[in-house]
Amino acid sequence: MEAKYSYYDYEKSIERIDEILNSSDASYEDRNSIPSRDLLTFTNGYYVDASVIFIDMRGSKVLAEKHTRPVLAKMYRTFISELVAVLRGDSNVFEIYIEGDAVWGVFDTPTKNDIDRVFSTAAQASSLVDILNIKLNRRNYTPVGVGIGLAYGQSLLIKAGYRTSGVNEVVWIGKVVGEAAKLCDLGGRLWTNRTFVSNVFYDNLNESNRKLLNKDWTNNCYSGYIVNTTMNEWVNKNG
């Protein structure tokens, strides 16, 4: 988010610190569904159950060594823009974040059907990477590798930032985002699957989706190479 200069007054800072720290603990409610952003203030928060997809590019250093900066810019822009498009295609998406060459999203999943839908969205993201790599290969660009992590759990949702400045963001506090990022880091490595799923996420999938994954005893999770059937047909015809 763009920031503009503003004189810093430490006495005002002390007032803001006291206001936040003196807010009531009762201002933090439990919800099984993500509330509207409009309900968030700088002194409240919500404990909510949600699902997270975390997708991170592999081999960024190698790409930088092999390609010019304009080519890298095109590769990164394509990778990020189309992953954002995939995540937005899930009707339960709540937030999407871009961190360097990683894209991750938070999804409102109060029912098991919603969690299955997030799993399908991850399959679309996986197939998108396959499509992108076909396009890159045709231009003699280096294919990109990715890891995909999926997790489900409770997180504390708050609004953080500097009041009246316009500099604020929705922040997720808790292990679910970190767990998805850690699972993502396992994916796409040498001799590993692309997609890794937490045990809790796996337990909430339907039987058909569970069959697409295998237990990873070493990392205490599940993994698989999941793809979208329709998109994969295009990959097979054009690869």
The average pLDDT across 195-205 equals: 98
Q: Does position 190 have pLDDT exceeding 80, yes or no? A: no
Which among 51-65, 114-128, 170-184 has the top mean pLDDT?
114-128
| pLDDT, mean of residues 146-165 | 87
Q: Are strands 195-197 and 167-173 parallel, antiparallel or unpaired?
A: unpaired
On whether the pTM is more than 0.75, the answer is yes
Predicted pLDDT of residue 64: 80
Is domain 28-234 classified as CATH 3.30.70.1230? yes
Tokens of 131: 């499509």
Average pLDDT, the chain: 90
For residue 122, the one-letter residue type is A
Per-residue model confidence (pLDDT) at position 90: 96
Among 22-31, 113-122, 123-132, the range scoring the smallest mean pLDDT is 22-31
